[in-house]
Chain A
Amino acid sequence: MRKMEDLISINYVKLLIIALFYTCVSCSSVEKKIYVELNDTVPCVRLLNATHQIGCQSSMSGDTGVLHVLESEEDLDWILNTGPHPPYMIVMETAFFNRSVMLRMKNSSRVSGVAVIVSKTGLAENFSPHTTCPNQNTGVYSASYGPELANCNVTAWNPLGNGLSYEDFSFPVFALKDENQTQVIRKCYEEHNLRVNGSAPQYPLCAMQLFSHMHAVTDTVTCMRRTDLQNRFSINPEVMCDPLSDFNVWSSTRPLNNSAKGHKANESVVIAATRLDGRSFFWEEAPAAEGTVSGIVTLLAAVHALQPVTQQAPPPRNIFFTFFQGEAFDYIGSSKMVYDMERNEFVIDLDNVHSMLEIGQVGLRSGRNLWMHSDPVSLTNSSVMDEVTKMTDNMQSIADGLHISLAKLNVTQPLPPSSLQRFLRVRPIPGLVLADHQTSFINRYYESVYDDAENLNVSYPPNLSPDEQLVFETEEAKSLAEVATLVARSLYKQAGGEERNLNNITADPRIVAQLLYGFLIQKNNSWFRSLLPPEVTKKGANSILSSGPPQFYIGVGPRNIGPVHSVTRFVQYIMANLTGAATNLTETQCQNPESKDLFSYFWVSGPSSVNSSGEPFCVRAPVRLAKAVSPAFERMEYGSRDYSTWTESRWKSIRARVFLVASRELEMLTLGVGVAVLLLSLMVTYFISSKADLLFSSARETPTTTY
């Protein structure tokens, strides 16, 4: 193949190929000889809040540098001080991707970009690019509310956090995931850039170019002002940044009339909440296994466990399940819901809220321990104190029945980062946060790309087919099922349900196993496919059902795979299928039902067997989506200190390529030869044309040429 490409180098062949290529693909074959495009890369992008920009960006035309693979401290010195070919494009293994190395690069002008090979080899004991105090400024604790607890003074929740995700890098940082492409880079480096006995390598050198130019700068205030200006005056407004936004998912055991907003008379709800998103240093690369999936899975399993009992013996209070989106970015989802509740724009208001149980990180229980966190400041209120005490006592007795060691924490410790804090900002609601950590997080990879299935100890015995893995009950699944049972029974009890029904509520470890498999290993599995609409499953890899686990970064509004984040969509449909009732409506009736006040209707694929694709049917369930966009954007307060102001910058292209660069001498030689040829030809042509009548006059003919 290469031989053939060589042939096309010059001449007519080239023309023919061009003619062909213009009809087939618009990419020149010369470019293919020069560049190796790296397709499976993940960039770090720029995010902005009211005061800062974080993330990375390249220059407009991409940043180029000579490749150097960082393998030892010696290499670091070569890159930052002695190497003769700056700027360098650094390729590093996971082991070097830490704060000290990255900050040394940030402060050096000899670094034009970084590519991190994301792999598990050489992974440090712990790595969290998040801050030590997540959502520090938008929680409940502040100078006016428990000032001694503010800024994680009592407990640094994420002490391993190095804050890398919140640094602003002026060079691009990419993650390389594909093993083959890493191999290409390594080969190119070893062939051209390897130092021989400490001396500098000779040209041509292997180089890499990264494109990730970001349109937005400074902060959200600046960027939104520029966007608004453009919207007002430009015919083709160019948006610089978009607010991070998606949807919360909520449901309730008794359907609530969604068309009537504001206070619901005679309605008292127990909120069961968890978060729906996570993040990492890189864009759309957030597995968030312990950070988020453990909570989602537990709550979904609890919803499923509660379903039959709440139908047969409904408790006096309603149970309101909600999954908050965008909590990693200063509580986008919960602040929006609270904001809507305050303004009577949500289906219930704060007066309807009886109490709240939030599920935090529950996946890494060492010795089956769980802890109930509560807010010491609101406990000074006696009614809240009573309710919380009742709640903890109830949960404790249920946990004892399940042989789970559940402990209440002393009242000097504040709440961990949780959605409950946003409720407490407006009202002292009795609430608990269930978590597997007593003080700081057990999660050693909080909000990083390594918080994946392995971190959660979800692994399968070898030789299992995907369908067998799907239903394989790992230890983790059994453990989370226990937690889900505890959550479900506690909620039922909290909602005023009778004691004798409690033993009928048990979470199914099989469901937990399936959920874990879908959220951590492979979203495109037979179970998820049967729960989703047929149009999603038919689209296959182009839709939200691509291969691999889903990612939990919230992202911005309109996506190329549809208006709703894939995880939100999964949770919505899983909930609908777990709690809903199958109806015999046709597809059109299902999509346009007579009344949507109490229920939503979902057209789902249905379980398929080996030889049939399943029979789609209509499911009716009180599962809803609610917009999760920070109120700061609704109120146009882009510098808000109370609400999340995170936006994601827009960009034109994100790509990476590897190629060789020629030495300066060769370039100058080429130019010199070119100029010489031009001058020589000018002189010769002038000379010949001035003497043309002499030269081209034949003795036998009359002069014909008059050049």
Chain B
Amino acid sequence: MTLAVFFGCAFIAFGPAFSLFVFTIVKDPLRIIILIAGAFFWLLSLLLSSLVWFIAVKACNGVQDPTLHRALLIFGVFFSVLLQEVFRFAYYRLLRKANEGLASISDEDGLDISVRQMAYVAGLGFGIMSGAFSMINILSDSLGPGTVGIFGDSQYYFVTAALMTLALTLLHTFWGVVFFEGCEKSRWWVIAAVVALHLLVAGLSLLNPLYEASLPPVYGITLLMAVWAFFSSGGSLHNLNTLCTRRKAEEESAQ
């Protein structure tokens, strides 16, 4: 009956990404292309960072010092984060260059895609792929029959892993939006802030298995990024206000 855990974790980790995909991406072929290409760029960064990791581990082979292993791990994590951000920038440059070409293969109605949309779709691509990579293995093991804990680990391991993946997918999306906005407007501090937050989240994940110490801050950052992304993609309090008032007006008129 660990099928329940499998589906529960799968829904938690990929539910939001799935619904975003269904409602915002799937209608437009161009968006799908950008999404896939975004995922591909993330994979490229993974390839490079795993190469570096491999070399680093080979170099330290045979040393049984736990502090060295930990240092290696921290180095690997931060290096990987930096690589991902480099590839995000590379992807931005590519999309910028390819913008007109993309527009020409887009629908004839001239429904060309804006940079903000591209940012959102690319970010989601990054998020889905990184979420998939951090979760698939855990998901396959969640099928059971066993659960984590024989070595004294928390039995909430699968749920927390799924929640972390969920946060990560969303974070990548928001980072994508904010990062592209920063690039577009040449606000380097924005890019620096994104990289710093990414490093912070990665660093927080190193606190595991102290889930109380890692999960709430990560969700706090996710919330912060959501607000930031909302504003940087053209949202404003005014808009929210109109939405609310319109809704009220609709309700009143309905009455």
The smallest C-beta distance from A287 to any residue of chain B, in angstroms, reads 33
Per-residue B-contact encoding for A690-707, CB less than 8 Å = 1, 0 else: 010011111101011111
Contact B2 A701 (CB under 8 A): no
- Count residues on chain B whose CB falls below 8 Å from chain A CBs: 83
Indicate if A206 sits at the interface (CB-CB under 8 A): yes
How far does the alpha carbon of A670 sit from the alpha carbon of B147 in the complex, in Å?
A: 13
Indicate if B111 sits at the interface (CB-CB under 8 A): yes
Q: From residue 1 to 29 of chain B, which have CB atoms closer than 8 A to chain A?
A: 1-2, 4-5, 7-12, 15-16, 18-20, 22-24
Contact B233 A671 (CB under 8 A): no
Indicate if B150 sits at the interface (CB-CB under 8 A): yes
How far does the alpha carbon of A3 sit from the alpha carbon of B243 in the complex, in Å?
A: 49
Q: With a CB–CB cut-off of 8 A, which chain A residues contact B76?
A: 12-13, 16
Q: With a CB–CB cut-off of 8 A, which chain B residues contact A695?
A: 230, 235, 239-240, 243
Q: With a CB–CB cut-off of 8 A, which chain B residues contact A704?
A: 114-117, 234
Q: Which of B73, B144, B145, B239 contacts A696 (CB 8 A)?
A: B239
- Contacts A204-B147, A674-B15 given; does A9 touch B155 at CB 8 Å: no
Contact B8 A671 (CB under 8 A): yes
Q: With a CB–CB cut-off of 8 A, which chain A residues contact B36?
A: none
- Contacts A35-B146, A674-B8 given; does A23 touch B155 at CB 8 Å: no
Contact A659 B146 (CB under 8 A): yes
Contact B11 A675 (CB under 8 A): yes
Indicate if B69 sits at the interface (CB-CB under 8 A): yes
Q: With a CB–CB cut-off of 8 A, which chain A residues contact B160?
A: 9-10
Per-residue A-contact encoding for B128-169, CB less than 8 Å = 1, 0 else: 001001100110110011111111110101111110111010
Contact B146 A694 (CB under 8 A): no
Q: Which of B11, B15, B208, B234 contacts A10 (CB 8 A)?
A: B208
Contact A19 B53 (CB under 8 A): yes
Contact B4 A15 (CB under 8 A): no
Indicate if A636 sits at the interface (CB-CB under 8 A): no
Q: Which of A2, A28, A660, A698 contacts B155 (CB 8 A)?
A: A660
Contact B19 A64 (CB under 8 A): no
Identify the closest chain B residue to A15 (Cβ): B133
Contact B202 A10 (CB under 8 A): no
How far does the alpha carbon of A658 sit from the alpha carbon of B147 in the complex, in Å?
A: 11
Q: From residue 1 to 37 of chain A, which have CB atoms closer than 8 A to chain B?
A: 1-4, 6-16, 18-20, 23, 28, 30-31, 33-36
The smallest C-beta distance from B153 to any residue of chain A, in angstroms, reads 6
How far does the alpha carbon of A682 sit from the alpha carbon of B14 in the complex, in Å?
A: 11
Main secondary structure of the interface of B (DSSP, over half): helix
Contact A9 B11 (CB under 8 A): no
Q: With a CB–CB cut-off of 8 A, which chain B residues contact A16?
A: 49-50, 53, 76-77, 80
Indicate if A313 sits at the interface (CB-CB under 8 A): no
The smallest C-beta distance from B210 to any residue of chain A, in angstroms, reads 9
Q: With a CB–CB cut-off of 8 A, which chain B residues contact A8?
A: 73
The smallest C-beta distance from B9 to any residue of chain A, in angstroms, reads 6
Indicate if A668 sits at the interface (CB-CB under 8 A): yes
Contact A675 B8 (CB under 8 A): yes
Contact A31 B161 (CB under 8 A): no
The smallest C-beta distance from B53 to any residue of chain A, in angstroms, reads 4
- Contacts A16-B53, A695-B235, A695-B240 given; does A7 touch B66 at CB 8 Å: no
Q: With a CB–CB cut-off of 8 A, which chain B residues contact A701?
A: 234
How far does the alpha carbon of A206 sit from the alpha carbon of B49 in the complex, in Å?
A: 38
The smallest C-beta distance from A300 to any residue of chain B, in angstroms, reads 48
Contact B117 A10 (CB under 8 A): no
Identify the closest chain A residue to B20 (Cβ): A685
- Contacts A12-B77, A667-B4, A685-B23 given; does A20 touch B53 at CB 8 Å: yes
Indicate if A686 sits at the interface (CB-CB under 8 A): yes
How far does the alpha carbon of A31 sit from the alpha carbon of B141 in the complex, in Å?
A: 6
- Contacts A12-B81, A704-B116 given; does A33 touch B73 at CB 8 Å: no
The smallest C-beta distance from B7 to any residue of chain A, in angstroms, reads 6
How far does the alpha carbon of A14 sit from the alpha carbon of B208 in the complex, in Å?
A: 12
Per-residue A-contact encoding for B194-227, CB less than 8 Å = 1, 0 else: 0000000010011011000000000000000000
Indicate if A273 sits at the interface (CB-CB under 8 A): no
Contact B206 A13 (CB under 8 A): yes
Contact A33 B157 (CB under 8 A): yes
Indicate if B236 sits at the interface (CB-CB under 8 A): yes
How far does the alpha carbon of A669 sit from the alpha carbon of B12 in the complex, in Å?
A: 12
Contact B150 A659 (CB under 8 A): yes
The smallest C-beta distance from A476 to any residue of chain B, in angstroms, reads 45
How far does the alpha carbon of A339 sit from the alpha carbon of B14 in the complex, in Å?
A: 69
Q: With a CB–CB cut-off of 8 A, which chain A residues contact B130?
A: 12, 15
Q: From residue 29 to 82 of chain B, which have CB atoms closer than 8 A to chain A?
A: 46, 49-50, 53-54, 57, 66, 69-70, 73, 76-77, 80-81
How far does the alpha carbon of A348 sit from the alpha carbon of B246 in the complex, in Å?
A: 108
Contact A11 B234 (CB under 8 A): no
How far does the alpha carbon of A18 sit from the alpha carbon of B137 in the complex, in Å?
A: 9
How far does the alpha carbon of A1 sit from the alpha carbon of B70 in the complex, in Å?
A: 10
Contact A10 B166 (CB under 8 A): no
Indicate if A231 sits at the interface (CB-CB under 8 A): no
How far does the alpha carbon of A281 sit from the alpha carbon of B79 in the complex, in Å?
A: 57
How far does the alpha carbon of A685 sit from the alpha carbon of B234 in the complex, in Å?
A: 17
Q: Which of A31, A204, A671, A697 contacts B234 (CB 8 A)?
A: A697
Identify the closest chain B residue to A683 (Cβ): B19
Q: From residue 130 to 144 of chain A, which have CB atoms closer than 8 A to chain B?
A: none
Indicate if B242 sits at the interface (CB-CB under 8 A): yes
Q: With a CB–CB cut-off of 8 A, which chain A residues contact B11?
A: 671, 674-675, 677-678
Q: With a CB–CB cut-off of 8 A, which chain B residues contact A220?
A: none
The smallest C-beta distance from B47 to any residue of chain A, in angstroms, reads 8
Identify the closest chain B residue to A6 (Cβ): B209
List A residues at the B interface (Cβ < 8 Å).
1-4, 6-16, 18-20, 23, 28, 30-31, 33-36, 64, 188, 204, 206-207, 209, 657-662, 664, 666-675, 677-678, 681-682, 684-686, 689, 691, 694-699, 701, 703-707
| Those 10 A-B pairs whose CB atoms lie nearest each other, nearest first | A659-B146, A19-B50, A674-B11, A674-B8, A670-B8, A678-B15, A671-B8, A681-B16, A11-B205, A696-B234
Given contacts A661-B146, A662-B147, A682-B15, 15 further A-B contacts (CB under 8 A): A2-B151, A7-B206, A20-B53, A34-B149, A207-B146, A666-B155, A673-B8, A674-B15, A681-B15, A685-B16, A686-B23, A696-B116, A699-B238, A706-B111, A707-B24
List B residues at the A interface (Cβ < 8 Å).
1-2, 4-5, 7-12, 15-16, 18-20, 22-24, 46, 49-50, 53-54, 57, 66, 69-70, 73, 76-77, 80-81, 84, 111, 114-117, 120, 130, 133-134, 137-138, 140-141, 144-153, 155, 157-162, 164-166, 168, 202, 205-206, 208-209, 230, 233-236, 238-240, 242-243, 246
11 A-B residue contacts at CB 8 Å? A9-B209, A10-B161, A12-B202, A15-B134, A20-B53, A664-B1, A678-B19, A682-B23, A685-B16, A695-B230, A698-B234
